[in-house]
Structure 1
């Protein structure tokens, strides 16, 4: 939303919004929509109010401080859980966890508004919190700002054949098979893309040259274990509404009501065709035993000699085996939406392999197992 539209909505609020209670002060308890409890805060300090305004709603007002609306702020976006408590003094916090919080700040941009004396935080969130996503649905603008396309061959006319996830200012997470399967090292990473056939003002993609490809040290060409890699970009990425990193899942357990795939490809790294539009679908986690049964024959070969390893792999896909992997190209993310930090995704898996194009279940590299290695490469000087 542009600043002029935002200001117009604030003016509407000033005329039409009603006070939740008389003679309140900043910091007082208040009651918002549906009886939800909150705290009176200036609208510039309430991300949830910005989220409501973007959707055309009117946040409940406490009062006006001059021309500045003071709203009943729930402290989180609609549908989000309360922020997790800060670690106790002396408690260990992973570098990846700290970076997740830092990158969450890029959800907002700061603009000067004539209605307030200090910069206003404008919410750029486009995360869809609906619990069900129809199969093959096209992603909304800016909905997956971390999703990357990997381009091979000529830099001016690259062949887009793999996906990935931006995880920092300089690094993209992907599959090792996207680098060692005969494609060679990708030359270009494209970020902020949603439709390869169009250019619009909402999604302005950017291309970044690849400076270095880093395979996991225990990955072996032709083998499906440790199928994870990092691409170091030639320069830092400028974060925008369309481009910002995702978080890394740091716990083995995936305690999420839903997981989502988003990508461009057919879901099998041996297939060289992609969709021209970024797509998404629900992708439920399956029991490891389901993948052990599905890949029993492959486990007799050198490619999967030890079978499915639960510590390093995630089994996912619908029970019915519908074509829910077609949007998840090689190297692309299996992710969960977070409630805190606000409007962020956590990448729980990197697409590795399946039985065939669009046939569930699928196997993803379990990101949490590889977080120590990722941290050592991406943030080597931080502890």
Structure 2
């Protein structure tokens, strides 16, 4: 049966055209990023979200990437050690450098409390990353220096290597600064937003996108009729759950892609499943595998 849903490549980690290039060493992003647009469209925030509390998600980072032309990109990511960040591979594939902003719920405001900007020195997309299928859509960024850990900056825990963490039917917590709906008039959110999202069996995403785009390395998340979930600008951002076996919150996914028809039409969204990449992260400089 012919699928009616068209896959939007880099759907949730958009390229944003700007009037003038942003050099990554320039820390003043607030006024410039607010006016980012793609073909005249502006962007808002995560679907169905509410503002996060101060220091509630100290692992959440914003990533602003550049290729030193008139195009820059905005994505989410998460701190997994004092010097490493994970995000989607498609967030960095078209760029040559990234600025990572940590410690604040307002990365577009360089004078916000806790704001700290650090640049990456090593960019490691997964070697099997497939931009056509958005498979192996994960990348590791090594920062130029360790960030100072404190109540506003803390790495998120990754799942243990051999954990029996069944996600089907669970509720995950998503955070980000992306769109709130498909209205072309709007801006990136000033504040970090959070929303609970239902994790469903991958067959739900197979039904929407076809089997070629889904495998065991991905996680399917329902959008409750397009009322909750990630949207443009949220790519690479973290999905966390509480692991009752060990009594800890762990990151289980990062935002990968959605439907070309829009974020509010009700189709599910697809996340990279982190349990498939724990050893790869450790082998490339990330935190050691926890057993």
TM over 0.5: yes
1:1-383 aligned within 5 A: 135-153=48-66, 161-180=74-93, 182=94, 184-195=95-106, 196-197=108-109, 199-200=111-112, 203-250=113-160, 251=163, 252-254=165-167, 257-266=170-179, 274-296=188-210, 306-309=212-215, 311-326=216-231, 329-337=234-242, 345-356=249-260, 357-359=262-264, 360-379=267-286
Distance 1:225 1:267 in 2: 26
Cα distance change, pair 281–190 in 1 and its aligned pair in 2 (3 A): same
Note if contact 1:160-1:274 (Cα within 8 Å) is conserved in structure 2: no
Note if contact 1:261-1:327 (Cα within 8 Å) is conserved in structure 2: no
Unaligned runs of 5+ in 1: 1-133, 300-305
Cα distance change, pair 163–336 in 1 and its aligned pair in 2 (3 A): same
Cα distance change, pair 274–375 in 1 and its aligned pair in 2 (3 A): same
Cα distance change, pair 277–379 in 1 and its aligned pair in 2 (3 A): closer
Which SS does the other structure have where 1:290 is aligned?
helix
Q: CA RMSD in A?
A: 3.2
Q: CA deviation at 1:382?
A: 8.1
Q: CA deviation at 1:160?
A: 5.8
Cα distance change, pair 317–237 in 1 and its aligned pair in 2 (3 A): same
Q: CA deviation at 1:380?
A: 8.3
More helix by percentage? 1
Q: CA deviation at 1:273?
A: 6.1
Q: Residue by residue, what CA displacement relative to the aligned partner does 1:342-377 show, whole Å, maximum 9, x if unpaired? A: 7x6311001000014424410000000111101111
Q: CA deviation at 1:274?
A: 2.9
Which SS does the other structure have where 2:171 is aligned?
coil
* Paired position in structure 1 for 2:42: none
* Paired position in structure 1 for 2:38: none
Note if contact 2:223-2:229 (Cα within 8 Å) is conserved in structure 1: yes
Equivalent residues, number: 232
Note if contact 1:261-1:328 (Cα within 8 Å) is conserved in structure 2: no
Unaligned runs of 5+ in 2: 1-46
Query: 1 or 2 for the larger relative contact order (CA 8 Å, sep ≥6)?
Result: 2
Note if contact 1:334-1:348 (Cα within 8 Å) is conserved in structure 2: yes
Distance 1:160 1:143 in 2: 25
Work out which of the two has the higher radius of gyration on C-alpha atoms and give 1 or 2: 1
Note if contact 1:150-1:186 (Cα within 8 Å) is conserved in structure 2: no
Note if contact 1:164-1:174 (Cα within 8 Å) is conserved in structure 2: yes
Cα distance change, pair 220–249 in 1 and its aligned pair in 2 (3 A): same
Distance 1:249 1:381 in 2: 11
Which SS does the other structure have where 1:293 is aligned?
helix
Distance 1:337 1:382 in 2: 18
Note if contact 2:135-2:213 (Cα within 8 Å) is conserved in structure 1: no
Q: CA deviation at 1:277?
A: 1.4
Cα distance change, pair 159–372 in 1 and its aligned pair in 2 (3 A): same
Cα distance change, pair 307–140 in 1 and its aligned pair in 2 (3 A): same
Distance 1:187 1:176 in 2: 12
Q: CA deviation at 1:286?
A: 1.2
